[in-house]
Amino acid sequence: MKTKPFLLFVGPSIFVMLVFIAGPLITVFVQSFRQTQNVYETAEQEKCDPFGCKTTTVTVPKLDENGRAIRETRWVGLENYRIIFDWSRATAAFSESGRGYWSLINIPFWNALRFTLMFTLVTLPLVLGIGLVLAFSVNAILQSLRGPVIFVTLLPMIVTPVIGALSIRWLFIGDGIITAQLERLTGQNIAMFAQGWTIELLLYSYRIWHTVPFAFIIFYAALQTIQSEQIEAARIDGATRWQTIRSVIIPHLTPLLVFVGLIHLMDTYRAFDELVGLNAAAFRVSLQGLTYSFLTPDEAGNRSIGRASASAVLTIIGIILLLIVPLRNTWREQTQG
C-alpha cells in the first residue's frame, strides 16, 4: 500500500492512540512531580472565656469567594516518590528497632509491591500447568463432548471479574456454603475474611479460575494443529507416551507457553477488580489498587493526583522490568528466525 492511503487508513487510530494514550502518559509523568494542596494563611482569632478575651494567631486554609479552600499546584520534584517509598520508615524497618520484612510490609507501597509480584509469579506456573493438563484432557475425550466442556470453561473468563470475585466471596464469607461445610468437617470456626493470608489464597484461586480458560483454549487449539503423522512417527520409532509428549508436543507448544505467560504477566500485574470483589482492601492492596486509592476523592473532595501519578509511573516501570526478559527472548527468536 502506498504512503498516502496507508496514512489515511492507519492515521485515525494512531492519532487516537497518540493523543489518548501517549498524551495522558506524558501528563502522568509530569504530574508525578507536582502536588496540589490547600493554600494556608495566618489569621488572628479571638477567643473569649469567662476570664477575658485573648487573641491568637492560627493558620487556616485560604478561602475563595464561594467559601471553598483555594488549592494551588506546585512543583515538588521527587517529593511524591519519597512519600510513596517512605524511605525513612523503610530503612528503619531494617535497623535494630524494626522487624525487618514485617515492618516494611506496613508501608502501603511495599505491601502492594510484594503482593502484586507474588500474585503474578505464583499464579503463572499454576495457570500454565492446569491449562496444559486441561488441554490434554479435553483433547482425549469424545468430539461431541468437547463443545459443552469448552462452553463451561469459557464462563469464568467471560464473567465480569468483579462479579466472579463476588461469587467466590459469597461462597466463603460468614456462613457461606463452602465455609459452612468446612466448619462441619473440621469442627472449627473458620473465618475466611478475618486475616490476610486466607484472603490472599482466595485471590490466587480467583485469578487461576479466571485465567486457566485462556491458557486452555490456546493450548487446545495448538494441539489440534499437531500433525498426527508426527505423533505416529514418534510412536513407531518406539517412543512411549511421555517421550512423545516431551519431544514432539512440548516443543510445538513452547512458543505458546511463552505467549500465554506474557499475557498472564501483563494482565495479573494490573490486578485490581478481584481485590474489589473480595473486599480485600483492609488486608491486601495491589499496585493498581494503590493508584486507584490515590485517585478517589477524600471527604473534602480532593484527589492526590500527584501521588497517584507517581504510583502510576512506578507501576509502569515495574511492568517494563517484568516484561523485559520474556520480550527480549521473543525478539531474539523473531529476528533470527
Partner 1 sequence: MTSKLFRLPFSLRLTTWLVIGLWTVAALFPLLWMLVMSFKLPIDGFHPNPFVVMFGPQTLEVAGGLSIFNIALTAVVAYILLSVFAAREAWLERLGSTEEGTKPWVVVGFYLGFLLVAAFSLVFLVPWLSQLFNFLLGSIPVINTLVKPILGLTMQHYNAVWVDNAFYKYFINTLLVTLGVVSISLTLGTLAGYGLARTRTVWVFWILISVLILRALPASTIVAGYLSPFIEWGLYGKRIAVIIVLVAINQPFTVWMLRSFFMNIPAALDEAALVDGCNRLQAFWYVIMPIMWPGVITTGLFSFLLAYNDYLVSALLLDGETRTMVPAIMAYFNRETTTTDQLEAIAAAASITFPLFLLVLFFQKQIVSGLTQGAVKG
Question: Which residues in the 60-119 window bind partner 1 by CB under 8 A?
Answer: none
Site size for partner 1, by CB under 8 A?
98
Q: How many Å apart are CA 290 and CA 310, to the nearest integer?
A: 11
Residue list 186-205, contact with partner 1 (CB under 8 A): none
> In angstroms, what is the minimal distance from the CB of 180 to partner 1?
3
> In angstroms, what is the minimal distance from the CB of 110 to partner 1?
18
Most distant CA atoms of the chain, gap in Å: 107
Q: How many Å apart are CA 317 and CA 163, to the nearest integer?
A: 30
Residue type, 145: L
Which of 10, 194, 233, 300 lies at the binding interface for partner 1 (CB under 8 A)? Answer: 10
Which of 83, 105, 162, 245 lies at the binding interface for partner 1 (CB under 8 A)? Answer: 162
Scanning the structure block, which residue is given the C-alpha cell 531494617?
94
Q: According to the binding rule CB under 8 A, does residue 185 interact with partner 1?
A: no
Query: Which CB sits closer to partner 1, 56 or 334?
Result: 334
Residue list 236-265, contact with partner 1 (CB under 8 A): 241, 255-256, 259-260
Query: Which CB sits closer to partner 1, 31 or 123?
Result: 31
Q: According to the binding rule CB under 8 A, does residue 328 interact with partner 1?
A: no
Query: Which CB sits closer to partner 1, 104 or 253?
Result: 253
Q: According to the binding rule CB under 8 A, does residue 27 interact with partner 1?
A: yes
285: helix, strand or coil: coil
Scanning the structure block, which residue is given the C-alpha cell 505416529?
232
> In angstroms, what is the minimal distance from the CB of 279 to partner 1?
7
List residues bridging with 71 in a β-sheet. 38
Residue type, 182: L
> In angstroms, what is the minimal distance from the CB of 49 to partner 1?
41
> In angstroms, what is the minimal distance from the CB of 38 to partner 1?
17
- Number of Cβ within 10 Å of residue 202's Cβ equals 22
> In angstroms, what is the minimal distance from the CB of 139 to partner 1?
7
Cα angle, residue 198 at apex, residues 196 and 204 outer, rounded to 5°: 100
Which of 46, 65, 175, 299 lies at the binding interface for partner 1 (CB under 8 A)? Answer: 175
Which of 28, 112, 113, 280 lies at the binding interface for partner 1 (CB under 8 A)? Answer: 28
56: helix, strand or coil: strand
Q: According to the binding rule CB under 8 A, does residue 138 interact with partner 1?
A: yes
Whether residue 301 contacts residue 332, with contact meaning beta carbons closer than 8 Å, is answered with no
Query: Which CB sits closer to partner 1, 60 or 194?
Result: 194
Give the CA distances from residue 187 to residues 72, 177, 180, 184, 202, in Å, rounded to whole numbers and listed in that order.
Answer: 59, 15, 10, 5, 21
Q: According to the binding rule CB under 8 A, does residue 129 interact with partner 1?
A: no
Whether residue 260 contacts residue 112, with contact meaning beta carbons closer than 8 Å, is answered with no
Whether residue 86 contacts residue 107, with contact meaning beta carbons closer than 8 Å, is answered with yes
Residue list 268-297, contact with partner 1 (CB under 8 A): 269-270, 272-273, 276-277, 279, 287-288, 291-292, 294-296
Q: What is the DSSP string of 239-278?
A: --HHHHIIIIIHHHHHHHHHHHHHHHHHHHHT--HHHHHT
Q: Which stretch binds partner 1 (CB under 8 A): 46-54, 106-114, 117-125, 174-182?
A: 174-182
For residue 202, give the nearest of 128, 267, 123, 129 by alpha carbon. Answer: 123
Q: According to the binding rule CB under 8 A, does residue 17 interact with partner 1?
A: yes
For residue 110, give the nearest of 121, 123, 100 by alpha carbon. Answer: 100
Listed in sequence order, the residues at least 6 apart from 211 whose beta carbon sits closer than 8 Å to its beta carbon are 123, 127, 157, 264, 267, 268
Query: Which CB sits closer to partner 1, 122 or 263?
Result: 263
x/- track of binding to partner 1 for residues 204-243 (CB under 8 A):
-----x--xxx--xx--xx--x---------------x--
